[in-house]
Structure 1
Amino acid sequence: MSWFTYLNNGTKREGSSGGWEERRSELASSPTEWEVLSQSEERARKAGSDGERADGADESDNESLTVIEGEEDLANQLDAVKGQLVVVSRENASLQEKLSRANSASTQIEEKSNRSVIRMRAELNEAQRSMATMETEIAKIRAEAKAATEESQQAQVRARLEMKGTKNVAEEKTQKLTRVELQNEALRQEIKSANDEIERLRALSSSLTGERIRSQESSGVLKEQARSLEKENSIMNEEIQRLTGQNTQVLTLLGIRTADERSQFIRQDLSSEADAVKKLAALNSEIYDAAAYMSDSFTYELQVPKTTEVRDALERTPKMLGSTTVSALTSKRHDEDPLMVQIAFQFCMVECCRRIITSWCFDGSKVEEALPALYDRIRKTESQAGIVSMNWRALTRTLARSMLHSQSADISSRAMPMLTETLVDVLLVAGCLGSRAQIREKLTTQFNSRMSNIVAMAVRLNEITGEEITSCDLKVASYSSGVDFDAKIMEDGYDDNKWRGPWEQPRVLCTTELGLHKKVPSSSEKAWKKLLVVKPKIVLSSLPGSLSHRD
């Protein structure tokens, strides 16, 4: 008889009544253990049934030995099962601990997410328009966080229900928890990215607010300046009307005088025409020397750098030099022979001096335009051979300069910065090595005295032609780019003999030396005669073609 048959048939031996039930109670202390033990009994029962059919004849003889061996095997199997149950219990405890940590982490993530949402809502009140899309993202993040939390909770429930499974099932659940943790980490990264984006938008909002405030302040200043200019313009218009009325009265009074009486109103010249010609020649010579020396003092790159400073200079220089001259500066090499830079320097300084010499008050205001116009009206209406108009011109320019600029240094301080910045633009366009600040520093430290001397000479010519000579009207002459060359009234300062073809018409590139014209009263009343005193020197547009191109 097998040990299982012995147990199930209720065969009782001495000292063993009720012992098996007690043994089972000791070995199985939980439903899971009972289930495992029952499976073991079932297998033993099947084995016992097979043994009965095979060994039916020997059952009575071997009954004692079978019971003893069955009890030992059963004890060994039960010990093994108990060991497995201990391992399973430990794994269950480990999984419970991991689930607890996952639940805690999920709770922390949800709390952090809620706090982040609260902060984001508070910050979004200041920039609702610019951060409208962020609200959608935050809602999405919250939904994903909630979904992840629910999934984590569902995973925990499923994990608790599946704790009775095998080790492979437990590992599968662990992998699911790992995926949940990875999802939570991804959500944390998204929340961090959202916070960073909010900070960026807050900074942008602050910057825009500052710019708006500055724009409002600037707008207020500009409005105030506009009102001030309107008042100044109104005052000057009233002054012009008053002066026009006074001049009309003066002309009326002077018109009844005889020719013999005119002489007492003629103001003697303090300087002569020869003095003006001499000063102009000295100015042209100084401009030429300074331009040649300055252009040779800088280093030029083979290619013009494509920096922001160069692009800004390229936008400004065509207004001053003309597009043809700018094109020659950018396309020609200057590292071996900076002739084109020298010509551009001459033109800039000549143009600056021309404006100084012809200026009435050196402030660039509306008065600068009104006074010459008023002078032309007086000259056209008078019948005293320019006596009244030229004396009025001398007195007015003297008075304007003394009222607005007590010293020549004041005029120089206004003209020097503009001239310096123009020369810096020329050097940048030509590919000069260095930044704008470095080039300006070199110009001001090495050549400030020469440029100041040129400005002072121009101011002196302004005094001679505008205030000290009243017997004629002297005016400096120059020609702009694109004008047809006329040898009768101008001179080629850099004659290259390239335009001498019979069908060619040369054109002016720029002026490099100032000329001088004069107007004198003619024999007929209210008529003026224009005479050429000094021809201005120019550069022809064909000259850049003889220079070396950049590679």
Structure 2
Amino acid sequence: MSQVGSLSSFTYAGMAGLSLASFFGVLKLWKHWFIRRDERISKDADLQALRLSLDEARSDAQVKEEAMSLLRKELENARKQLDVVGRLLEGARTQNQALGEQVKQQGEALQLLRHETLQVKEEYARTLKLLEARTQELKGAEAFLTKADVLSGAEVLSMLNTLNSEVYQTAALVAESFQFRPKRTGADEGQGDRAEGEGEETEEMAEVYASTTDILGPRMMELLKSSEHHDDPTLIQIAFQAGMSAYSNWIISSWYFEDPDDERLLDEIYGRVREAEEQAVSGRWRALTRAHVQQLNSNHEPDLAMYFIDAFVNILLTAGVTDTRSELQEAIASRFADRVGVVVKSAQRLRKAIGEEVTSCDFEVIYIAHDSPFDPPRMDDSLAGAFEERRGEAEPVLCTTDLGLGRLVRAAGRVGEWEQNVLLRPKIALESGIDELMSIGSS
């Protein structure tokens, strides 16, 4: 306490001893001290603020450094990823370039493939067209090479027997339906009148005799002309059989009922085909030709029945029937058209069977022309009694009454050699048999 008093005394003493200038100097110094203190306080505050700011800056810098480090890491990772992406991109570019080359190659291959496809399509079209042509050729070849027959030999033979039977029955029926007057001799009354009448008929009858001769031959025509028929019409019946057999043979063997020159040409062609080709080929050629050539006259097919009726009329006129041609034609057509139609249809059916429905062999109807030598091994005499009596004599055939049937097959691999079998021998009539028959009838 004493020390405090002392100090105060001293202070007051010192202060008292100070001059005014000193006082003002001290005051100024004191003021300056306060100013400096305030400045120091302000600076300390600023320093403290700076320290805080520095700490914050350091903290922020640390955060930023950490962020920067993180960013560096991320950047490094990004660089690594970029390297990876770069490598991938380079690989992709390489792959893309390779793919581009592949696309280019595939484009070229596609273009080539399109070109080849076009060529293949064109080749396919050509092949298809060729296949169609070959298919048609194969069908044609199959048609030629097939050996299947529609009918057997026994069936063909049965058809011919039926035709012969129908011819016989029709001939007998027609012959018995007409009345014949006795022929007048030179001693009969009115000989001059008859001669005068015959003179008037000469031109007309000459045509009748010529037609009868064409069908039956001159000897049968003379027999019809000179023989008596009022008691026994057997000769008329035989003549009818012969005429129907002749026309039936013509129908069966004809290609298409036209010009004989054309018929002979087709026969010659077929003969050459038969000589050069195997049976299967020649048989099919014949079948196809018969089938198609018949269509040439399908619009104007001849009236085949009229040939038979005209033959009947000419035979009756030759035999001395006094009716006119038109009267006979009308009578026969009205009474026997159905019978004649049956014969014609049978002949046409046999023609189709032999010509078109059998190819493994050749069936031939056997018809013996008039005046041919009588050959017992090849033919039968329909009048057997005369045949037995005149066996050793060479006698010409008068006419054919029943058609026969032969079968021919070309020997395989041998040109011009044929195997021939007679399935049915034709029946003929001899003049000696007619004479015997007429003598028996007149006795």
Shorter chain as denominator, the TM-score bin is 0.5 to 0.7
Change in Cα spacing, 1:312 to 1:351, as seen in structure 2 (3 Å) is same
User: What residue in structure 2 maps to residue 302 of structure 1?
Assistant: 182
Answering whether residue 172 of structure 2 is matched by residue 292 of structure 1, we say: yes
Distance 1:356 1:262 in 2: 29
Offset, 1:457 = 0.6
Offset, 1:501 = 4.7
User: What residue in structure 2 maps to residue 531 of structure 1?
Assistant: 421
Change in Cα spacing, 1:482 to 1:336, as seen in structure 2 (3 Å) is same
Structure 1 runs (4+) greater than 6 angstroms displaced? 261-264
Offset, 1:491 = 0.8
User: What residue in structure 1 maps to residue 245 of structure 2?
Assistant: 350
Q: Which moved more, 1:432-441 or 1:299-308?
A: 299-308
Local SS of the residue matching 1:510:
strand
What does the per-residue CA deviation read over 1:419-464, in whole Å, with 9 as the maximum and x for residues that have no partner?
A: 2212111000101131111111111110111111111110101100
TM-score, normalisation: structure 2: 0.60
Distance 1:267 1:523 in 2: 14
Local SS of the residue matching 2:384:
coil
Do the aligned residues in 2 keep the contact of 1:334 with 1:430 (CA within 8 Å)? Answer: yes
Aligned equivalent of 1:448, options 331, 337, 343 = 337
User: What residue in structure 2 maps to residue 520 of structure 1?
Assistant: 409
User: What residue in structure 2 maps to residue 457 of structure 1?
Assistant: 346
Local SS of the residue matching 1:299:
coil
Answering whether residue 279 of structure 2 is matched by residue 362 of structure 1, we say: no
Change in Cα spacing, 1:333 to 1:502, as seen in structure 2 (3 Å) is closer
What does the per-residue CA deviation read over 1:8-50, in whole Å, with 9 as the maximum and x for residues that have no partner?
A: xxxxxxxxxxxxxxxxxxxxxxxxxxxxxxxxxxxxxxxxxxx
User: What residue in structure 1 maps to residue 294 of structure 2?
Assistant: 401
How much identity, in percent, do the aligned residues show? 32
Local SS of the residue matching 1:542:
helix
Change in Cα spacing, 1:498 to 1:467, as seen in structure 2 (3 Å) is closer
What does the per-residue CA deviation read over 1:191-216, in whole Å, with 9 as the maximum and x for residues that have no partner?
A: xxxxxxxxxxxxxxxxxxxxxxxxxx
Answering whether residue 362 of structure 2 is matched by residue 473 of structure 1, we say: yes
User: What residue in structure 2 maps to residue 391 of structure 1?
Assistant: 284
Structure 1, unpaired ranges of 5+: 1-252, 255-260
Change in Cα spacing, 1:442 to 1:502, as seen in structure 2 (3 Å) is closer
What does the per-residue CA deviation read over 1:477-499, in whole Å, with 9 as the maximum and x for residues that have no partner?
A: 01122222222111111222366
Offset, 1:319 = 2.1
Offset, 1:523 = 4.1
Do the aligned residues in 1 keep the contact of 2:369 with 2:399 (CA within 8 Å)? Answer: yes
Do the aligned residues in 2 keep the contact of 1:321 with 1:344 (CA within 8 Å)? Answer: yes
Instruction: List aligned pairs for 1:79-478, cutoff 5 A.
Output: 265-303=145-183, 306=198, 307-308=201-202, 309-364=204-259, 366-382=261-277, 385-405=278-298, 411=301, 413-478=302-367
User: What residue in structure 1 maps to residue 393 of structure 2?
Assistant: 504
Which structure has the larger Rg? 2
Structure 2, unpaired ranges of 5+: 1-136, 185-193
Greater length-normalized contact order (CA 8 Å, ≥ 6 residues apart): 2
Distance 2:398 2:213 in 1: 13
User: What residue in structure 1 maps to residue 86 of structure 2?
Assistant: none
Distance 1:264 1:433 in 2: 55
Offset, 1:337 = 0.5
Offset, 1:536 = 0.4
Change in Cα spacing, 1:392 to 1:264, as seen in structure 2 (3 Å) is closer
Distance 1:518 1:389 in 2: 15
TM-score, normalisation: structure 1: 0.49
Distance 1:357 1:457 in 2: 10
Offset, 1:262 = 9.8
Change in Cα spacing, 1:369 to 1:504, as seen in structure 2 (3 Å) is closer
- Letter of the aligned partner of 1:496 in structure 2? G
What does the per-residue CA deviation read over 1:35-86, in whole Å, with 9 as the maximum and x for residues that have no partner?
A: xxxxxxxxxxxxxxxxxxxxxxxxxxxxxxxxxxxxxxxxxxxxxxxxxxxx
Do the aligned residues in 2 keep the contact of 1:299 with 1:433 (CA within 8 Å)? Answer: no
Offset, 1:366 = 3.5
